[in-house]
């Protein structure tokens, strides 16, 4: 099992990512920046040094997120998300289909975000609550709207124009000292954004100004209609957020809902839908692929809950995953996590249950290295040296670059004596 999956691994990732952000330089120079900006549909090239810098910073951030295990990198889900975003872009923005990349992010937040460079992240916390592919398409359409209309650059220039040279540094690099520490059970991005300053907090989590949020909602509605999805899915998406909003979690507001409020956004979206020339809903959702994505999101949420020692929540998420319709590989992850719960929560009493769960995991996915490792370690401590050596050998064979390879090989040598 890689270190990032153990204990508070996700949170350690935040610390490292924040140190990347701490090195981000102050953008641009003082003086007035033009806020008369073309959309990405008109010009894909960066429209100034400041936008080039925003894109470079986004690339740095995207690389940090990937290298810290923030993304669920499984081809099946990447392809499915890309299929939906390409479809949304196909109507008038097909030149952007290389620019826009959608990622499934291991993050319990009810959120999604778009970086200025075209990277979109949909958090497993939100994906798990969606009910249809059309709702997912509405979410992606909104995020694409922020990218196409260059809302980050517009916000950046607008804010810079209001600032004097003296406090510009505070704006771009207002490093929130306590931001990371407060992330025990929260979103990776919330911690990262808090550490990166106000501008990136808006881009990453809080959302943009009221006008930009409404504009992105409208873009999403138009994209749904142009692609044959039911535009009403945008309202259903807001309803999902309303249902799952936790009023007590002050820094975990769902998806850009700080301003404007969700109910106001519903009214605006309804007005946009009413203004559309009636276009037929011709698309049938790919229910199987959608269900598999949701099931995986639940399993990733279970993994995060386990990392925080919340066994009840872990099991609840695993039950949801099973009900959603998981792929065999997702089922293997779920089995592994059930083994982890039994082992960590129940100690020796949980050994036989955990062993059965790990066995189930490797039966479902014979290439599942972590499950072999835990199976072997459990058999090692249950006095079954032969089985233990076999399982641990499978782990090393499947993951020759494992950081604990030397240690495990030393165990195998002793077990075979």
* CB closer to Zn ion, 118 vs 207: 207
# chain residues binding Zn ion, by CB under 5 A = 4
Q: Which residue stretch of 167-175, 248-256, 269-277, 371-379 sits at the interface with Zn ion (rule: CB under 5 A)?
A: 248-256
Residues 143 and 131: their CA atoms lie apart, in Å, by: 18
Q: Which residue stretch of 187-195, 256-264, 324-332, 345-353 sits at the interface with Zn ion (rule: CB under 5 A)?
A: 256-264
The one among 106, 150, 253, 256 contacting Zn ion by CB under 5 A:
256
* CB closer to Zn ion, 256 vs 303: 256
DSSP bridge partners of 281: none
* CB closer to Zn ion, 154 vs 303: 154
Q: What are the tokens at 151?
A: 């809302």
- What is the nearest approach in angstroms of Zn ion to the Cβ of residue 374? 40
* CB closer to Zn ion, 72 vs 216: 216
Q: Are strands 119-123 and 101-105 parallel, antiparallel or unpaired?
A: parallel
- What is the nearest approach in angstroms of Zn ion to the Cβ of residue 142? 6
- What is the nearest approach in angstroms of Zn ion to the Cβ of residue 413? 55
> Which 271-330 positions form the footprint of Zn ion (CB under 5 A)?
none
Q: Which residue stretch of 125-133, 163-171, 252-260, 290-298 sits at the interface with Zn ion (rule: CB under 5 A)?
A: 252-260
Cis peptide before 119 (omega within 30 of 0): no
Helices (H), 68-202: 75-90, 124-127, 133-148, 151-162, 165-173, 188-196, 198-201
Q: Return the ∠ at Cα 205 (arms to 199 and 209), rounded to 5°.
A: 60
Q: Closest residue (Cβ) to Zn ion?
A: 256
* CB closer to Zn ion, 256 vs 298: 256
Would you list the DSSP string of 222-290? HHHHHHTS-TTHHHHHHHHHHHH--TT-TT--STT-SSS-HHHHHHHHHHHHHHSPP----PPP-HHHH
Q: Which residue stretch of 61-69, 224-232, 237-245, 254-262 sits at the interface with Zn ion (rule: CB under 5 A)?
A: 254-262
> Which 123-182 positions form the footprint of Zn ion (CB under 5 A)?
none
- What is the nearest approach in angstroms of Zn ion to the Cβ of residue 164? 29
Residue 324: CA count within 13 A, CB half-sphere:
29
Q: 116-126: b or e for each residue (b if 16 or more CB lie within 10 Å)? A: bbbbbbbbbbb
- What is the nearest approach in angstroms of Zn ion to the Cβ of residue 288? 29
- What is the nearest approach in angstroms of Zn ion to the Cβ of residue 114? 8
- For residue 206, the 8-state DSSP code is I
* CB closer to Zn ion, 199 vs 372: 199
Q: 253-273: b or e for each residue (b if 16 or more CB lie within 10 Å)? A: bbbbbeebebeebbebbbebb
Pattern 185-224, Zn ion, x by CB under 5 A: ----------------------x-----x--x--------
* CB closer to Zn ion, 206 vs 337: 206
Helix (H, G, I), strand (E, B) or coil at 69: coil
Residues at the site binding Zn ion, with contacts judged by CB under 5 A: 207, 213, 216, 256
């Amino acid at each position: 099992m890689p270190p990032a999956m153990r204990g508070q691994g996700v949170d350690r990732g935040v610390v490292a990512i924040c140190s990347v952000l701490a090195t981000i330089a102050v953008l641009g120079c003082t003086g007035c920046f033009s806020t008369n900006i073309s959309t990405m549909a008109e010009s894909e090239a960066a429209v100034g040094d400041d936008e080039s810098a925003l894109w470079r910073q986004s690339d740095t951030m995207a690389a940090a997120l990937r290298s810290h295990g923030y993304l669920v990198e499984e081809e099946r889900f990447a392809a499915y998300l890309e299929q939906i975003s390409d479809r949304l872009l196909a109507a008038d923005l097909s030149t952007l289909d290389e620019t826009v990349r959608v990622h499934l992010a291991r993050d319990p937040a009810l959120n999604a975000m778009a970086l200025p460079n075209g990277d979109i992240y949909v958090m497993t916390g939100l994906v798990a609550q969606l009910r249809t592919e059309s709702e997912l398409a509405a979410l992606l359409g909104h995020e694409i709207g922020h990218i196409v209309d260059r809302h980050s650059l517009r916000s950046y220039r607008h804010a810079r124009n209001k600032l004097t040279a003296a406090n510009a540094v505070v704006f771009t690099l207002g490093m929130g000292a306590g931001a990371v520490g407060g992330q025990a059970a929260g979103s990776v991005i919330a911690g990262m954004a808090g550490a990166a300053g106000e501008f990136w907090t808006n881009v990453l989590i809080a959302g943009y100004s009221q006008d930009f949020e409404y504009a992105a909602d409208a873009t999403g509605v138009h994209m749904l209609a142009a692609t044959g999805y039911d535009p009403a899915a945008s309202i259903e998406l807001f309803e999902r957020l309303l249902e799952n909003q936790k009023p007590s979690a002050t820094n975990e507001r769902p998806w850009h809902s700080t301003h404007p409020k969700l109910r106001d956004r519903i009214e605006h979206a309804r007005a946009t839908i009413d203004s559309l020339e009636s276009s037929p809903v011709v698309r049938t959702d790919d229910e199987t692929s959608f269900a598999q994505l949701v099931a995986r999101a639940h399993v990733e949420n279970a993994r995060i809950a386990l990392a925080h020692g919340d066994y009840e929540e872990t099991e609840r998420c695993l039950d949801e995953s099973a009900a959603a319709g998981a792929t065999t590989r997702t089922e293997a992850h779920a089995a592994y996590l059930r083994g982890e719960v039994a082992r960590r929560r129940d100690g020796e009493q949980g050994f036989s249950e955990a062993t059965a769960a790990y066995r189930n995991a490797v039966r479902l996915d014979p290439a599942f290295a972590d499950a072999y490792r835990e199976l072997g370690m459990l058999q090692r401590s249950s006095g079954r040296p032969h089985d233990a050596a076999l399982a641990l050998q499978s782990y090393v064979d499947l993951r020759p670059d494992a950081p604990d390879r030397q240690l495990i090989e030393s165990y195998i040598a002793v077990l075979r004596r």
